[in-house]
Amino acid sequence: MKLSKPMRGILEKEWRHSRGYFLATLLIIIYTPVIKTIFHLFRGGASMEQWVQELNFALTFGVGMARPLVYSSGLLQWLPAIGALLLGIIILGEERKGGLNYLVSTPVSRWQIILAKFFPGAGVVILSMVVNGLFLVGLGLFQPVSYNPVDVFHWCLLTGATCLCIFTVALMVSTFTAGVLAAGVVCYFLNLLPGMIVAMIEHVGARYFGLVESVSIKLCKLGSYLTMSDYIIHSERHITSVQHYPGWTTTGISATGGMGPDYLLDSCILLAGVLLFLILAIIIFERSSLQTGGAIFATGSARKTALAIGALIISYWLVFPRAETLLKFILYFSLLTGLIIMGSQYLYRLLRYGWQLPVRKKKNSTY
């Protein structure tokens, strides 16, 4: 496939502009498996033995298994994800300060801008995981490790897919947020949001519609599959029972320990997520104006959507523990949501324009 001249131009620009970020991301992703291992190799002796044990544990027992607290190999899962997140929010968010306005005013289409950011970023993530995989397999030739190349492949596949998904979500979030910090904050909440919404639906179903436990378990599992951080820690995937505490918006979940993740299924879900979030990133970026309108959200529609979601969650937290019947729940929930949305909008206008809202004289004549 031959790339068009503008596409080659912006890919070159991307390399010239973001190569520092690409290098930093690569170093973050390979830090624990490669750099830290080399560090322990140099120290040798007990330090290396302890580290090999930690690698064995993390790679043999699965990505997110509970591990002894003294083990620092948790970094094996978290650092790559953090690296991918930072790259996703920086690669587009940072450019909002300057160059993006120039780029959008040229003959380059907006979808090309997103793809020119996605492909190099995804390439760095994949390259980093290849380096990690080769290094860990190579390490097995010189050190007495209990993991095998299949374990390494599984780990690389799932961690790589998780990193790609997180990178794409961060890229998508950057299309409607006002800067790097704002994108980071929104990414954090967006990670929690699907799980929260599924939990809310499950609670309402259990209390007002007598949902059976098997359905509750399925819903909780769905929530876990929709939460990206759960692919890293896998804390709530193998659920055996769900307990509801009366009057509370929390749920007790019992899960079986000692089970590894379904690498293939999880990776496929994550890669489907990558495709979905990439399409969403293109659609949002195509439709939005490049005008920074606020501290967190760059567009008015993003601000309104966030306000509506925030109002729904706050209303739920306040109403659900107190509403005994479905009718009361619907009534209070709708009322409070509406009040929060209207009140926030009024407060926003008040803070922005003061007590005297702008009044325009209707005197428009054309000569």
Q: Should residue 179 be labelled a site residue for another protein when binding is judged by CB under 8 A? A: no
Amino acid letter, residue 244: H
Nearer to another protein, 48 or 104 (CB): 104
Please tell me whether residue 214 binds another protein under the rule CB under 8 A.
no
Region near another protein per CB under 8 A, out of 29-37, 166-174, 225-233, 282-290: 282-290
Long-range contacts of 256-261 (CB under 8 A, 24+ apart): 257/66, 258/61, 258/65, 259/62, 260/61, 260/62, 260/63, 260/65, 261/62, 261/63, 261/64, 261/158, 261/231, 261/234, 261/237
**Which of 53, 109, 143, 191 lies at the binding interface for another protein (CB under 8 A)?**
109
Structure tokens at 312: 């729904």
| In the complex, minimum distance from the CB of residue 187 to another protein, in angstroms, rounded to a whole number | 24
- Binding marks (x or -) toward another protein, 298..337, rule CB under 8 A? --x-------------------------------------
**Could you tell me if 198 and 220 are in contact, meaning their C-beta atoms sit under 8 angstroms apart?**
yes
DSSP summary character for residue 226: T
* Of the residues 70, 214, 256, 291, which one makes contact with another protein according to CB under 8 A: 291
List C-alpha distances in Å: 229 to 223, 237, 294: 11, 12, 28
CB of 164 to another protein, least distance (A): 26
Q: Does 2 bind another protein (CB under 8 A)?
A: no
Opening angle at CA 135, ends 132 and 140, nearest 5 = 125
10 near another protein (CB under 8 A): yes
Closest to another protein by CB, 256 or 364: 364
Q: Which of 331, 337, 343 is nearest to 314 (CA)?
A: 337
**Least distance between another protein and beta carbon 365 (Å):** 8
DSSP string spanning 281-327?
A: HHHHHHHS-S---SSSBSSHHHHHHHHHHHHHHHHHHHHTTT--SHH
Asked if 290 is part of the footprint of another protein (rule: CB under 8 A), the reply reads yes
Among residues 28, 24, 90, 77, the alpha carbon closest in space to that of 229 is found at: 77
Between 104 and 279, CB nearer to another protein:
104
Half-sphere exposure of 47 (CA within 13 A, CB side): 9
User: Which of 148, 138, 366, 159 has the alpha carbon at shortest distance from 271?
Assistant: 159
The one among 101, 243, 250, 254 contacting another protein by CB under 8 A: 101
Q: Which two tokens stand for residue 24?
A: 């930093």
Number of residues counted as binding another protein (CB under 8 A): 41
What is the residue whose two structure tokens read 């659900």? 320
x/- string (CB under 8 A) for another protein, residues 344-363? -----x--x-----x-xx-x
Residues in the chain: 367
The single residue among 123, 252, 293, 321 that binds another protein, judged by CB under 8 A, is 293
Q: Which is nearer to another protein, 188 or 353 (CB)?
A: 353
Would you count residue 287 as binding another protein (CB under 8 A)? yes
Select 11 or 126, whichever has its Cβ closest to another protein: 11
Binding site for another protein (CB under 8 A): 5-6, 8-10, 12-13, 16-17, 97-99, 101-102, 104-112, 286-291, 293, 300, 349, 352, 358, 360-361, 363-367
